[in-house]
Structure formats: structure tokens, C-alpha cells
Structure 1
């Protein structure tokens, strides 16, 4: 699949790049910090994950990730590569990525944990934040 990320739209009027959002998430995840992770989201953000997981605010996302980093996701990393960016208007965009969670001791995402994700981004001031996030496994169960 061709990479459809157009870096010419990445920085307008001093704004952070759309493609920087996944990098910011990877850094937040690397520290296993629910504070840093939740800071990537708007106050009214939603997050939908496999297993009937639905969170409907920045506070709920924070609480969920705090529990995950203390439990099953402790010591993990995440990676995500932008596949497509579509700017809807000057302050809203849709980003599609492919990646997943990397367990301690692994060098990359195991095929059974590979996901594709849809990110709805909204620019607030000069920074792009996640307004809605959803991911699903690449491999069917």
C-alpha cells in the first residue's frame, strides 16, 4: 500500500504536524504514563478498543490507561506508522495508522497484535489532539 501521508499539510502557521501525533503517543506510552497519554486527547474524546472497551472522556481514558499500565500493559511500548491523512477542514483531520503493542523483550509488533487505527484529530491552538480513536486487529480472530 502506498503511503498517502502528505507532509505539505503537516505544519501550518506554526502548528504541530499531524503525523507527529502517533510519535507523541509512542513517547507517552514508552513512559507508561497515563498523564502523558491522556494529554494527547481532547476533553470530550472517545476511545474504542477491541473487547467492548469504550471510553468517553479524557478522564475515563486516563483512568483506563492508568490501570492498564499498572497491569497488562506494564513495560510495553507501542508503535504506529501513518498510512493516510485526510484534512477535513483547517482544524479537523482523519489519520489512519498501522502498528500495535510491543511486549517487553520484543523488537516489533507480533502479527497477532498488529492493528489498524483511525484517529479523528482536532487542532486546539497550535497542537493537534485526538478527538476520537478506534483500533481493530489486522488479523481476523
Structure 2
């Protein structure tokens, strides 16, 4: 008897309703975030957020501002997320207003050499990006457990 684990799968293409330039800019911020995570660089990661950004994570975690985000991630990189990388696949990218983009993603943290984000660590996330002085930055983020493994995209390293 063969046992299979449920997986969330990866959609072929995200639903994108923003301009090509804005999509490229927001996805560039996401690549920078993945790079900062891979380097366990909490300070660089926090700089991708606005000064007044809000993060809400499962449980009691509510973070407000870059300093709180940096401190939280610094502790996470020394603890639970030590040695991990992060992958996220966009599911939706749309304007909420002229200078606000909503990005819905799925993915999560994984160990190098893994083929998937485990069901325990897989999440769906909602990101709010705001454009200030012509630059896109993360102003809000919330995630929820997915409950199913997520195969890593070919671009995950």
C-alpha cells in the first residue's frame, strides 16, 4: 500500500492585473526578500518593509515597524528558521488602489536539498505593497497555514 501526502500544487500562472512594470518591481522586492532570508540577514529583510509595516503571523505574533520585524527575524534565524530558505509562488497580483498592490502567494520555509515545503511549514500569504516616492515596499503581511506540502518551483535554490 502506497501512502501519499496531499500537496497544494503550484498554479501554472498567477492572476496578474497590474502593469508589467509594477509587477516586475513587486516581484523584485520578493526576490530580495528571499535573498535576505537565504543570507539570514534580518536587517536587510526589514528594509524591504515600510517604516510602519505590520506583520501578523499565526498565533500571537503581531509586529509593527521595521525594528520589530528585524528583531523577530533575527531571533527566528537563530532558532526555528536556522539554515532554511524561503520560496513563494504568486497566486494573485492586483491593485487595491493606484499605489497599493495585493499579492497572494503560497510557499514557505524549507531546508536546502528539499523538494518541497512541508505541510507543517507551508503557508498562504497576503502581502500589501505600497508605492512611496516611486518605490514599492511591503506595508503589510499576514499568513495562514496551508496544511499541505508545496512543491518547490524550479527557481528555488
TM-score category, normalised to shorter length: 0.7 to 0.9
Change (3 A) 1:113 1:54: same
For normalisation by structure 2, the TM-score amounts to 0.79
Report the 3-state secondary structure (helix = DSSP H, G, I; strand = E; otherwise coil) of the residue aligned with 2:26.
coil
Change (3 A) 1:112 1:72: closer
**Cα distance in structure 1, aligned partners of 2:133 and 2:116:** 34
Q: CA deviation at 1:107?
A: 3.1
Q: Could you list the runs of 4 or more consecutive aligned residues of structure 1 that deviate by over 3 angstroms after TM superposition? A: none
User: Which of 1 and 2 has greater Rg?
Assistant: 2
Q: Residue in 2 aligned with 1:99? A: 107
Stretches of structure 1 lacking an aligned partner (at least 5 in a row)? none
**Cα distance in structure 2, aligned partners of 1:21 and 1:97:** 14
Q: C-alpha deviations, 1:79-122, integer Å up to 9, x for none?
A: 00111011123311111001001024423211221100000110
For normalisation by structure 1, the TM-score amounts to 0.87
Q: C-alpha deviations, 1:56-76, integer Å up to 9, x for none?
A: 111101110111111221111
Q: Would you say how many aligned residue pairs link Structure 1 and Structure 2? A: 137
Q: C-alpha deviations, 1:27-67, integer Å up to 9, x for none?
A: 11010001111011000000011121110111101110111
**Cα distance in structure 2, aligned partners of 1:123 and 1:10:** 15
Report the 3-state secondary structure (helix = DSSP H, G, I; strand = E; otherwise coil) of the residue aligned with 1:21.
helix
